[in-house]
Amino acid sequence: MVPVEEPEAEPPEGGKKGRKNAKADKPAKPAKPKKPKMRKVTVEQFPRLTTIATFDTIAARDVVLSDLNLNYDRETGFLGTAVRTGETLFKCSSLDKILLVWPDGRYKVVAQPDRIFVDKNLLLACVFDRDRPYTVVYTENSYGFTYLKRFSFGGTIMNRDYSLLPEPGEIRLLVEGTPERLYVKYKPAKGQRIHQQLFRPSDVGVKGVRARGNQMTAKPIQRLVAGAEDERPRWWDADGAAENGQIV
């Protein structure tokens, strides 16, 4: 039996190009409308009912109550909130830092103490503020000269001893801020012409805590007090001569 060859099927007219044209003849689908963004729909349907505001930073120390009594017993030399004898110096909180100063110029900053020994001659205890200004009058031991200094304590490391005097000496006066006047009465001496003087601390600039002060006098001082111009101490001789002292 002889096989019969079937004729090959002719490709459609135009080949691949014809197929593309056939697809092109189909009707185009209509474009889908864009969906509105969810954020826009939400804002339009549910507008904001609140207002945007800024928030201030609040330190924890500002919201903690200062309800602890810091007591100092000068007879035993103990200081703290757990000390039940002596006198109450001020109220403080558990977050406060306490500044301690002694007559020889030594000072340090400690955490609010329950009970610590600070000796019987503590000169100053207060809540520490590194930028708070102070005025100090001290006499150095070598020659007996008396100096005046205005300063702030600045930064410190907790529980470390510092000195606000550049050389060994003794603090005669330490007050916060700048007093209007310093009333000075000198020890009596043979041939002494000036017995009392007035000084104006604002005449000197602010220095670093460990800087040397400005010299007030070389005379031995018997009494010294800070006060206003119209608040003279009782021991002041109103009838005697009182020159304005020169601070150098």
Question: In the prediction, which pLDDT does 60 show?
Answer: 56
Helix, strand, or coil here: 71?
Answer: strand
Q: What is the largest CA-CA distance in the chain?
A: 163
Helix, strand, or coil here: 148?
Answer: strand
Residue 113 · residue 81 · CB < 8 Å = yes
Among 128, 148, 183, the domain-final residue is 128
Q: Is residue 178 located within the same domain as residue 139?
A: yes
Could you tell me whether strands 106-111 and 97-101 are parallel, antiparallel, or unpaired per DSSP bridges? antiparallel
Among 113, 128, 143, the domain-final residue is 128
Q: Is residue 124 located within the same domain as residue 137?
A: no
Among 80, 101, 128, the domain-final residue is 128
pTM for the whole thing? 0.72
Q: Is residue 172 located within the same domain as residue 194?
A: yes
Question: In the prediction, which pLDDT does 133 show?
Answer: 96
**14 within some domain:** no
Averaged in consecutive runs of 10 residues, what is the pLDDT profile of the chain (248 residues)?
54 54 61 62 66 63 74 96 94 93 97 95 96 96 95 95 95 96 92 90 93 94 91 85 77
Instruction: Provide the residue range defining the domain that includes 94.
Output: 60-128
Pairwise CA distance, residues 127 & 61, whole Å = 12
**48 within some domain:** no
**26 within some domain:** no
| Number of domains, the chain | 2
Q: Is residue 153 located within the same domain as residue 230?
A: yes
Which of 200, 211, 135, 205 shows the shortest CA–CA distance to 173?
Answer: 135
Q: Is residue 99 located within the same domain as residue 137?
A: no
Q: Is residue 139 located within the same domain as residue 225?
A: yes
